[in-house]
Amino acid sequence: MTLSPESSVHRRCPSSSTRKSDSSKYTNDNDNDVMEIEFDDTKPLMSTGFFLSQGSRRKPSAPARPSRQTSFKQDIGHAAAETYLITGLAFKLLHSLGVGYRWITKFVALACYAMLLMPGFLCVAYYYYFSGQVQRSVVFGDQPRNRLDLHLPMNLDGPKPVVVFVTGGAWIIGYKAWGSLLGQQLAERDIIVACIDYRNFPQGTISDMVTDASQGISFVCNHIAEYGGDPNRIYLMGQSAGAHISACALLEQAVKESGGGESISWSVSQIKTYFGLSGGYNLFKLVDHFHNRGLYRSIFLSIMEGEESFQKFSPEVRVRDPNIRDAISLLPPFTLFHGSSDYSIPSDASKNFVDALQMVGARAELILYEGKTHTDLFLQDPLRGGKDDLFDHIVAVIHADDKEALSKDAVAPPRKRHLPEILLRMAHHISPF
């Protein structure tokens, strides 16, 4: 049963590569066969989303912004190429996972879950493809997935705060469009949202994902003013796997800055707050949990470049390293959100990371939502519309120093409901996540 926002429990802590080869091998623990996945870096691996023409869309009342969109013909060709490639990779990945009872039941549950939420998804998809407030696939790097979507407020009458968002997807199915609902709702509160895309496994491994995220953050920090954003009010947010990737990128940047020897294209000081939603931050503790849920150890090790890389890509572990104490002092405040009934990534993952940050003197807080699952906070609750504690908290932090924005928030209309309550409750119970 989904609980109301008022039932959430708050716990606040006081302030205080280069790829190794062109193929990945891993073992299916069900049948002990070795499956080799081969991929070609010369071909783009994007999502199956199709990028439509921007020609006749309604424009928001704002100063002219740089045009970084491709032509309709290029969009269709790009979409066809990436659809072909991702389909082939998907079949290879499914073959390696094995079609056992566990995966069949999860697939059936996922199909039912998607059908229940489909009316809401279609509403968000219509906004994503046809709204003049969305600039899709802005290029920020030279890799195939180096694209981001910008969700812009209707009225750009002055520099707006910016949220850089890294989506989840188990490091395998992440895609920038997954942040469209968040982008739409924050844009209604005069906040720009930049949803970053990144290479997924098997096209890339964790170091590629962190590099892509860092390059996307760099682009926003250096170019968001061209789109009406305020470069002095940038917030970083990630959900699920995206929370892990963005935390890794932020910590790695802090380490670079504290070392002083490497040139940097963006600074940790430009990030005012980090928001982590339902994330996992310690790979040592997650590997067995994911294995038991079907993301087999061999595949997880391939994604994370082997167990020898766990410390580097485990922010909870890395912040305890006395050798990077100078980097810790550069970090912005951390606010982590988690549901107590999250079985995909247990809420202890966020609790332990907050504890680790506080122990080394970083500013951190945990907000725990009683009875919420992995998808409630990011999908069902936003689709429900109306009042939402998590959304209100994020907006309050971003607008904390803007009295005019706070006064507008106080009289803002309730967020639009996208689905009947009965469908949302059924989705809560049937969700495979």
Q: Would you please indicate which residues are annotated as catalytic (active-site) residues?
A: 240, 342, 374
Alpha helices (H) in 260-387, listed in sequence order: 283-292, 297-303, 315-318, 325-328, 348-359, 381-384
| Angle CA 201–204–205, to nearest 5 | 80
Neighbours of 327 (CB within 10 A): 21
User: 378-395 burial string, b = 16+ CB within 10 Å, else e?
Assistant: bbbbbbbeeebbbbebbb
* Residue partners of 11: CB distance under 8 A and separation at least 6: 351, 365, 366, 367, 368
Place of tokens 């966020």: 350
* Residue partners of 297: CB distance under 8 A and separation at least 6: 29, 287, 288, 290, 291
Q: Are 149 and 178 in contact (CB under 8 A)?
A: no
Tell me the C-alpha to C-alpha distance, in Å, between residue 3 and each of 116, 340, 394, 414, 428. Answer: 19, 11, 20, 19, 11
Among positive and negative, which fits the CA dihedral 55, 141, 45, 77? positive
Cα separation, 333 vs 357, whole angstroms: 10
